[in-house]
């Protein structure tokens, strides 16, 4: 094969690869991921979520033991202020639905990040401490923070691995509460 044909072949292959690559704003290629990014974790809405959650006092909690109540599971980033902001956001969003939803706050950094919230004593908050990230690994979360909302049957309603609003959490909790 002469040099001109080799150049033409490599050019055609390069154009074909470029044309098949997903480029932002391209109308002729479909992105395999949702518009708001990749999924937050391995589980998809409707999947049953199971996990053993390491608690701050050294014991564990089986997520299955909370069946019958909606659960908001928030895996916080290591930074104290970011963790507290996330905890406050999900607690307030879930709190708008009465005491029924259980909020599980998982600290990956400072174990005292949620101490002030734990003192509320409303029974709707569980403080967990997972410095090695075993829970995040088990759930295959993509990034911290990650928030899961699980219905009474343990099925995932929604999950986010990004900044979220109280309205998003509140809507998912309402969906979880409406589920049989």
Q: Is 69 domain-assigned?
A: yes
Burial of 45 (0-12, 13-18, 19+ CB in 10 A): middle
pLDDT beyond 80 at 159: yes
pLDDT of residue 115: 63
* pLDDT exceeds 70 at position 25: no
Mean pLDDT for 29-39 is 46
Q: Is residue 4 part of a domain?
A: no
Q: Taking the chain, what is the end-to-end CA distance rounded to the nearest angstrom? A: 68
Does the pLDDT value for residue 17 go beyond 50?
Answer: no
The mean of the pLDDT values for the chain is 74
**pLDDT at residue 143, as a whole number:** 86
pLDDT of 21 = 41
User: Does 20 fall in a domain?
Assistant: no
Mean pLDDT of 27-44: 53
- Rg of the chain's alpha carbons, rounded to an integer? 21
Both tokens of 83, joined, read 């963790």
28 domain-assigned: no
Q: How many domains does the chain have?
A: 1
Domain that holds residue 53: 40-178
In a domain, 148, yes or no: yes
Residue 8 belongs to some domain of the structure: no
Specify the length of the chain in residues.
180
Round to whole Å and give the CA distance between 85 and 105. Answer: 11
Summarize pLDDT for 52-111 with one digit per residue, the tens.
Answer: 988 878 889 899 998 998 999 988 887 667 777 888 888 888 877 776 788 887 877 666
Whether residue 70 contacts residue 151, with contact meaning beta carbons closer than 8 Å, is answered with yes
pTM score > 0.75 for this model? no
Range in 23-37, 122-136, 154-168 the model is least confident about: 23-37
What would the DSSP string read from start to end of 101-167?
SEEEEEESS-TTTTHHHHTT--S-EEEEE-TT-HHHHHHT-SSSSEEEEE-TTSBEEEEESS---HH
* pLDDT of 127: 81
Q: Is residue 16 part of a domain?
A: no
Distance CA 93, CA 97 (A): 8
Residue 67 belongs to domain with CATH number:
3.40.30.10
Banded model confidence at residue 116, pLDDT cuts 50, 70, 90: low
């Amino acid at each position: 094969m002469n040099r001109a044909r080799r150049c033409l072949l490599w050019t055609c292959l390069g154009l074909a690869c470029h044309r098949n690559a997903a480029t932002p704003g391209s109308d002729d290629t479909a992105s395999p991921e949702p518009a708001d990014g990749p999924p937050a974790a391995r589980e998809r809405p409707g999947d049953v979520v199971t996990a053993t959650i390491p608690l701050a006092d050294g014991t564990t909690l089986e997520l299955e033991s909370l069946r019958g109540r909606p659960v908001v599971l928030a895996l916080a980033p290591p930074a104290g202020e970011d963790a507290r902001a996330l905890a406050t956001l999900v607690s307030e969003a879930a709190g708008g639905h009465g005491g029924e939803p259980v909020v599980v706050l998982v600290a990956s950094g400072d174990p005292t990040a949620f101490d002030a919230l734990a003192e509320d004593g409303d029974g709707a908050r569980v403080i967990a401490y997972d410095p090695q990230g075993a829970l995040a690994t088990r759930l295959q979360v993509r990034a911290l923070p990650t928030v899961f909302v699980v219905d009474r049957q343990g099925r995932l309603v929604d999950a986010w691995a990004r900044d979220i609003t109280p309205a998003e959490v509140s809507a998912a909790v309402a969906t979880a509460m409406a589920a049989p």
